[in-house]
Structure 1
Amino acid sequence: MKVIGISGLPGSGKSFISKYSIEKGYLVTNMGDVIREEAKKRGEDTGTTATNLRLEHGQYVVAKFTINKVKELIETCPDNENLIIVEGIRSPFEVELFKDAFPDFTLISVFASPLTRFNRISKRGRGDDTQDINSFRLRDKRELEFGIGNVIATSDYIIVNESTFEEYNNKIDTFFDKILNHETIYLQ
């Protein structure tokens, strides 16, 4: 099985790749779900929990939980020559752990401008989203402090998501067609 990580700032389009992957029959796990589940247990907001988990257990905590989840998926589907998608990689530390755990690990990042992302977030209505531009900027700042900017900059592939839904969908189709056929990928 091939493990593909997805990174990108909030509202960039990571979740769409996950939904697309599920429709194609790929297995998907979301690192943010680990944080959301723990935040619910603690009665905290997700940002506070994300920071606290890393302070309490180190920079690798979310990746370690997720890697264990991926290994369980591989064990339960050993004959599956499918893909496992890991959404929400945020730090270089996490990337290194995934590369150590899965030698064929590939990282793709989704990029969209802050204005585009804010507009998407303010419309999607997820529990940890904001309608306030200052809160949005603080969330971006926190994500950047985790090291997500370095993750995006050193990704194996970057998809720019500033265009229409149809164009973005076509870029994702192209990416998966080529990665499954072990072709060189050039996305514009």
Structure 2
Amino acid sequence: MKVIGVTGLPGSGKGVVSRVANKLGIPIICMGDVIRDEAKKRGEKTGDVAVELRKEYGEFVVAERCVETIKKYFNTKDNSPKNKIMVKSNIFMVEGIRSQYEVEIFNKNFKNFKVIAVHSTPKTRFKRLKRRKRPDDSKEKSEFLLRDKRELNFGIGNVIATADYMIINEGPIKKIKGIVRSILENEMQNDSKGKGKSNRRSG
């Protein structure tokens, strides 16, 4: 079993990586969904809940919940229509890693855990968020900057800096998808051989 994590500030293009992975048959868990589901239960804003959860249960909480889900699906191999995640391979993707604490949890549970970082300029990211219009997306520049500050306080900068792969998402979407596909196919091939490579930069 191999797990690949994806990190990047809001609007950087983590979803692009996930969509390419999905087409390759790689199941995906979005760490943000853990926060959004909890926010819905509490009737609170996602940003507030992201901070509250970590204060209440520790910095590892979101990663630990994702690890439980991954192990559940790999262990049961339950591909029934009722399941949201269809296990088609021995590779799993986790989108939205925000801290070294989370990287530590995934490293502890999954051998040869790798991280793909996606980077875009603040100007590009803000434009994308305004177009995307998800409920928790920043509509004002001040909100955007506050969200970035919160993410950086979690430690996402260190995760990006130490990632195994770096993708600069400023060019044509077709080119970015090609880079992502190349990385994932390389990891899938290495997984089948029981080998792994790291510290490669792309962009």
Shorter-chain TM-score bucket reads: over 0.9
Shift of 1:109: 0.7
1:156 equivalent to 2:171? Answer: no
Residue in 2 that maps onto 1:187: 202
Shift of 1:80: 5.3
Q: 2:119 aligns with which of 111, 123, 126?
A: 111
Gapped runs of 5+ residues in structure 1?
none
Percent of aligned positions with the same letter in both sequences? 45
Give the TM-score, by structure 2 length. 0.88
Residue in 1 that maps onto 2:97: 89
Shift of 1:173: 1.6
RMSD: 1.6
Q: 2:173 aligns with which of 155, 161, 165?
A: 165
Q: How many correspondences in the alignment? A: 188
1:147 equivalent to 2:155? Answer: yes
Residue in 1 that maps onto 2:184: 176
> Structure 1 counterpart of 2:8, which letter?
G
Gapped runs of 5+ residues in structure 2?
79-86, 191-195
1:71 equivalent to 2:71? Answer: yes
Structure 1 SS opposite 2:118: strand
After superposition, what is the alpha-carbon deviation per residue over 1:100-127, rounded to whole angstroms, capped at 9, x for unaligned?
0002211111011111100100001111
After superposition, what is the alpha-carbon deviation per residue over 1:128-177, rounded to whole angstroms, capped at 9, x for unaligned?
01220110000000000000000000111111101111111111121112
After superposition, what is the alpha-carbon deviation per residue over 1:16-72, rounded to whole angstroms, capped at 9, x for unaligned?
211221222111111110000000011111000000001111111101101101111
Structure 1 SS opposite 2:145: helix
Structure 1 SS opposite 2:12: coil
Residue in 2 that maps onto 1:36: 36
The answer as to whether partners of 2:21 and 2:181 remain within 8 angstroms in 1 is: no
- Structure-2 separation of matches of 1:14 and 1:20: 10
Give the TM-score, by structure 1 length. 0.95
The answer as to whether partners of 2:4 and 2:91 remain within 8 angstroms in 1 is: yes
Structure 1 SS opposite 2:97: coil
The answer as to whether partners of 2:25 and 2:88 remain within 8 angstroms in 1 is: no
